[in-house]
Structure 1
Amino acid sequence: MEKTNFKGKLTKNKALLGLVAIIFLAVFFLGASHKTVIINADNQVIEVQTVSSEPEKILEEQEIEIGEYDRIEAPSEDNIRSGEEIRVHRGREIRVIDGGQEAIRYTTWNTLEDILEELEIELNSKDRVNFDLEETIEEEDKIEITRVREGNREETVELSYSTEVKYVEDLDPGEERVVQEGQSGEMIETYIDTYENGEKVSEKLQGHEVIETPENEIIEKGEVNHFTTADGSRVEYSRKITMEATAYTAGYESTGKRPGDPGYGVTRSGTRVRPGVVAVDPNVIPLGTKLYVESLDGTRSYGYSTAEDTGGAIKGNRIDLYFENLSAAQRYGRRDVRVYVID
């Protein structure tokens, strides 16, 4: 009888079992790493089988090209799991005017806020945009950014001095002397200037500070004839006359002329009648003389006037004051006045 080689058979069986185990493990791990991934690109959704975990490699396997301005959206950059989705967002052109400079940019987002973030465009608190941050920007839209900047500015302003006149008795009328020279002052004004896209659009005075106070010029003058008007003004005059005053209008009751008649409303000097025109005797007050007519009965003074007219009844120390309507002239009547010649 032949002898059986049990030792050789045992070794051979062990080798066979090891090979089966290796094949089993290889199939197991290969099956475990194989996955189904969803790709959403170019308006198409497809399912693909892959063993890759990186989105770019998976897209490359499917010959899906990614451009310079495209964006890949995936749950993970290097560990895509079965059932997960990879989205490809294609870059699109968009017109952006930033601070007056227009350029074509590319974006994969839709709302203004996301677009600005992607393009790394920062807005200051005062900048303006022609869309709200939440608005969707369409391809035909144009994003306009107005850059607003404020700056402080200081400006030096000269403060003019005033002239103070003092009348004294130790100088002859008309003679004067300077007691104190006037000196201008200085003030600093602070402005806030607003610029839009580099151009100044407004300025606002923020405040001011007087650096040097002006000093008034003081002049002494010899006492001259003067009177004080109702508003407190001091007026010099060459002479004064007490006169009898009446009132007239341009109408028929005063001049015998009606609208349309030659010379209606025209003074002896050739000017048009108006409040402030008075009629005088040229032998007493020459035509063209500047006057101030002061009331003596406590009523309102006629005030500053000019001798431009004459009248048949206006002789000697008489004066006729022009009024625009007949009722006002009739109410004035006849009264004494003081007439100052201020030429």
Structure 2
Amino acid sequence: MQLIRIIQSMFQYCNEFVMWLFIDFLFGYAYNQLRIGGSFMNAKNSAPKRFGVKGMVILSLTVVAMASLFFIVYESMKKEVTVVADEEEFHTNTMAETVEDVLNELGLEKDEHDYLSEDLTKEVEDGMEIELDYANEVVVTVDDETETYHTLADTADEFLEEENIKISEHDHLSFELEEELSDGRHLAISKAFEVVINDDGEKKTVMTTGQTIQSLLAKEGIKLSDHDQLNMEPTKKLDSEETITITRVDKERKTYDEIIPFNTETESDDSLEKGKTRIVQQGKEGKKVQTFEITYKNGEEVSRELVKEEITEESQNRVVAQGTKEPPKRTVAKKSSNVQQTSAKSESKSKIETKDTKQETGKTMVVQATAYSTNNPSLGTHTATGIDLRSNPKVIAVDPNVIPLGSKVWVEGYGTAIAGDTGGAINGKKIDIHFSSYEKARSFGRKTVRIKVY
């Protein structure tokens, strides 16, 4: 026992390499003694033998025993250590003094971010268990900002909580929260923000990430027709709080029957006295069918375009002959009494005519009224007297010989209007009534009405 303690003391101050040199020396020495002993036994007439056979055997056994003793002592001084590195177990019997020496023997390295259950400088104990967890390098990109982390967390969810990285249910993640992390994993997070969608005047707020307008609308189940309009390009990528405005555009085609007014032509007639006229040909209105394409934005009409026009009946102009013949000269009566009588009769007749005219302009008439609207693109917006129908819509077209221009006229079913326009087809007791709405004009159409001129 004393010998074992001495050898153990030697092992405390000698390394493994020196002890194996000592064992090698013992075997070498034994081998040389055996060889020398054998030479003495075979030599003739030699000196007395140093060793006999029995001595050689004892020497050999002694050397083997010493070597075995040294081996047993060496093995007894080793410590059993278990190292678990990322779920992989390493078992070793070692002469290492510290935990760091054990890791070096096993070829294991510890980084500053890794977890080690024991201090590197701690002395090794028999039966020691050492746990080594390697940290994973994780790259995180939030919108356009990228940062590198080292973590011991097992899952992405644990890592986000560990680093206090907040996410919402609307954020877009390139990973699953439950997935296990691996070294070099890249986690991308797109933060959600508010966007207002104004669809035909109805607004709603949605949460979205950096996606395009068309993908957002598809996600929200909002469909666009070929004519609908956006205030931005549909392929634009949203990157901030914005308002998407959708203008619903509808188009339809409508067909209308229209009247073609006739014109009045004047021709000279030398068989008629000057100042006299004669109708050579009565005028006749024509007919045409017009097709308009009407555009509505968010339910309101914004334009109408004439896309087709077909004349179904041609109009016929009115031809009026105007006299150019000089009237015959009249003889003036010489008697003053006759002149006075004639003058009195003329004055009386003039008074009667003036009275009749006043009665005519002050009484009710029955006329034929036709409605029209400047919303029809084929018609102008100003009357013959210069009235702008867009700002003064209550205007009728008249025959000035029947209703003086500028008169106020009450029209049955329409109200009071200004006689401020004329027309080639308006002769005698005919009037045209202006409506701002094309639909109202079509609804009124043409009818016989009572009017009163003021």
TM range (shorter): 0.3 to 0.5
Larger helix percent: 2
Q: Which has the higher contact order (CA 8 A, sep 6+)?
A: 1
TM-score by structure 2 length? 0.33
Larger strand percent: 1
